[in-house]
Structure 1
């Protein structure tokens, strides 16, 4: 299976071109559009500050697709302490930043394809080389998302996720 192949959607029965292997959250769960004009708030494609009290970095939860060489990913937001956020910003454009120790954080993205909330799962955010999004390592718990990160998902599960994301009213949690 490659990402070029389409799939027949279990929600609408239509054939969708390409199998989506990447989804992104545009903002942390706590973000409100009203914050956009506030002096103490910032939302960029990689970093977010809310009321100069809450700090977030976007990273990737990567999940191997079993039986393929593909990687499925969720681009999610992780909250960091003020100190860790300041350090991440300090080295953001620095070559060699991948040698930084991981930063502890809390997942701040709700992924509604899971039966239990993904908010506030414990994470370690691993900085990668310049130009690459950080890697989000979930605490190895029994949460379905953490289990999938450790064990991988089938191509059928990728299709389930695609159907649920493309048709949230018909897909919902699962």
Structure 2
């Protein structure tokens, strides 16, 4: 048994039948945080549109191009120490045109494997406010999955390598605008 299993907050966080005594809210455990577009995207959110096209600038759910820059939406996993699961961010990475073309080749009638590449993180991540423009590597995945990101150095790389605590996870959610901590302290 992990020490995390002894934390009553963790048990409440993962019990979808429990209702918070102050608001009635239920929780079902770890959830991911995604991003509609790179932070620098100048044309607003995509919302329910398949593609936002403004002149030569374009944004869909997986790729973005504007001002001669190219971006891919990726997955950046963070293991949670003591848990069998991880939390993932769904940020964008600024990459070269060659990397976008290699990723585009994973689609279509004759898909090719994505060999990965290098880039820069294109979103500031809550809990890692200095993370925007962090150097990252993109790992190839199956054609049905977004590339996996790994930070090359800094706090984000350390968190990916060593995992985050449950308290750090709650801090990330709070920094993203959803402070669950008060709802997990009492029955």
With normalisation by structure 2, the TM-score equals 0.73
Q: Secondary structure at the match of 2:38?
A: coil
Aligned-partner Cα distance in 1 for 2:83–2:29: 13
CA distance in 1, matches of 2:177, 2:142: 32
Q: Which of 54, 71, 75 is matched with 1:56 structurally? A: 71
What secondary structure, in the 3-state scheme, does the structure 1 residue paired with 2:61 have? coil
Shift of 1:62: 0.5
Q: RMSD of the TM alignment (CA)? A: 2.8
Structure 1 counterpart of 2:118: 104
Change (3 A) 1:106 1:145: same
Structure 2 stretches lacking a partner, 5+ long:
1-9, 46-51, 180-187
Q: Give CA deviations for 1:142-172 in whole Å, capped at 9, x if unaligned.
A: x22111011001122111211221259xxxx
Shift of 1:103: 0.7
Deviation at 1:17, TM superposition (A): 2.2
Q: Which of the pair has the greater relative contact order for Cα pairs under 8 Å at 6+ separation?
A: 1
Which structure 2 residues correspond to residues 115-130 of structure 1 after superposition, within 5 A? 116-130=129-143
Question: 2:44, 2:150 → 1: CA distance?
Answer: 31
SS at match of 1:104: strand
* CA distance in structure 2 between the aligned counterparts of 1:91 and 1:133, rounded to whole angstroms: 10
Bigger CA drift: 86-95 or 157-166?
86-95
Alpha-carbon distance, 1:102 to partner: 2.1
Range that drifts further, 33-42 or 70-79: 33-42
**Given the alignment of the two structures, is residue 46 of structure 1 paired with residue 62 of structure 2, yes or no?**
yes
CA distance in 2, matches of 1:37, 1:87: 22
Is the alpha carbon distance of 1:66 and 1:91 closer, same or farther for their aligned partners in structure 2, counting shifts above 3 Å? same
Contact 2:105–2:112 (8 Å) recurs in 1:
no
What is the distance in 2 between the residues matched to 1:104 and 1:135? 11
1:33 aligns with 43
**Residues 63 and 152 in structure 1, CA contact (< 8 A), matched pair in contact too:** yes
TM-score, structure 1 as length reference: 0.78
- In structure 1, the residue matched to 2:31 is 21
Q: Structure 1: state its 5+ residue gaps.
A: 169-174
